[in-house]
Amino acid sequence: MNKPELLSPAGDLERLRFAVRYGADAVYIGATEFGMRSAPKNFTVDQMRDGVLFAHEHGCRVYLTLNTVPTNEEVARMPDFVRQAASTGIDAFIVADLGVLAIVKKYAPDVEIHLSTQVGISNYMAANMAYELGAKRVVLARELSLQEIAVIRDHTPEKLELEAFVHGAMCMSYSGRCLLSHYLTGRDANRGECTQPCRWAWNLVEEHRPDRHFPIGETEEGSYILNADDLCTAPFLDLICEAGVDSLKIEGRAKTFYYVASTTAAYRKALDAYLRSPQEFVCPEEVLEELTKISHRRYSPGFYFGKEDAIQNVKAGGYIRDWEVVAVVDDWKDGTAFCTQRGKWNLGDPLEALTPSGDVVRFCPDWICDQEGQEIDSTPHAMMRFSIPSAIQIPTYSILRRKIAT
């Protein structure tokens, strides 16, 4: 039986720790340059070393993205960076450029090479060529169906690993290779700077009537003709495993630690349920419930069952967000949970604690104390320390959340 890894995103050291604690088998990260997410956090080499050490101590692998389209100047600097990154103990480089692949093979020959989804591997000939070039793994194009993945698996070497996305944002272009952001805003998606204009509301303007906007959607705000639904495969995770996928990838390196923890916990439960009983797999209800408690767009199965299911939400943009994080549990002792604030909440608000095991503890504390032990009615200050009662032990790294009032 195929036993795929669960691969989670980690945009910084905090998110890496949450991914590891919540059940990831591997995490993928980005450095301060050369990756497809140019957010200022990412990882310095020193942070990378700390993250790799933490992950390896917990039996988790770390992959580093080097999947932008590099300039000549960047390529000239890359050998030194590759050597530094390899010295941290990372397990693989994720690359999209043939020149970068050659650099990695030369300057970090003992580190695995994974070909990014940016390459657009869509058939077994391309996968086989990647293997001949030295790739240990290919990250398949998101546009493939289950049947197409199975054909690739049947026509490629067993040692070549296949990775596929199972959850997260979908792009309106082919495997993320988009020029729209660069054309409209000067920020290039292929260099990690996408402004996501595909999520904007659009109107039609006629050449001779530039002062008039013609709505082309279902609402007065305009049309979201490029707005792709989010991918969610938890209900049919067994079919992806049976197609021969070796790594189940959650999208979202730019998303919050809560998103990372929640999706990792949910897919850990779903994957474990499959591994326990592959023939009788039914996605646990708590998995599907958990995936509604993160900020998300409308869910779809993507391209896995064919193009007709990979639809756009033309009626509305934005996210569905019904829950918010209020704290992280730092410790629990003798019926008291010691926490760090991540959002204001008030005494009397019912809370849920999402634990690293994926289980949920529901309770309503009847007191809050600040760091000096004084009782308070709310937690208004960012990152303030406070304590609350909990008869049930709440593990470190648990996330406290509350339902947003409607």
Band of the pLDDT at 216, cuts 50, 70, 90? Answer: low
Q: How far apart are CA 348 and CA 355, in angstroms?
A: 21
Higher pLDDT, 171 or 141: 141
Model pLDDT, residue 211: 76
Q: Count of CB atoms within 10 A of residue 386's CB?
A: 19
Percent pLDDT > 70 in the chain is 84
Model pLDDT, residue 209: 73
Model pLDDT, residue 298: 86
pTM: 0.88
Q: Count of CB atoms within 10 A of residue 48's CB?
A: 25
Mean pLDDT of 87-116: 97
Model pLDDT, residue 174: 56
Taking only the tens place, the pLDDT of each residue in 218-277 is: 455 545 666 678 899 999 999 999 999 999 999 999 899 999 999 999 999 999 999 999
Q: Which of 340, 248, 356 is nearest to 22 (CA)?
A: 356
φ, ψ of residue 338 in degrees (nearest 5): -105, 125
Burial 85-113 (b: 16+ CB within 10 A, else e): bbebebbbbbbbbeebbebbbebbeebbb
Q: In sequence order, which residues have a C-beta less than 8 Å from that of residue 158 and are 6 or more positions away?
A: none
Mean pLDDT of 60-80: 92
Mean pLDDT of 91-119: 96
Mean pLDDT of 55-76: 93
Burial 20-29 (b: 16+ CB within 10 A, else e): bbbbbbbbbb
Based on the number of CB atoms within 10 Å of its own CB, is 321 exposed (0-12), middle (13-18) or buried (19 or more)?
A: exposed
Q: Which of 145, 141, 168, 149 is nearest to 8 (CA)?
A: 168
Model pLDDT, residue 215: 58
Band of the pLDDT at 187, cuts 50, 70, 90? Answer: low
According to DSSP, the residues that pair with 31 across neighbouring strands are: 43
φ, ψ of residue 204 in degrees (nearest 5): -100, 135
φ, ψ of residue 280 in degrees (nearest 5): -110, 25
φ, ψ of residue 287 in degrees (nearest 5): -65, -50
Q: Which of 198, 36, 2 is nearest to 117 (CA)?
A: 36
Q: How far apart are CA 148 and CA 304, in angstroms?
A: 9
The pLDDT mean for the chain works out to 89
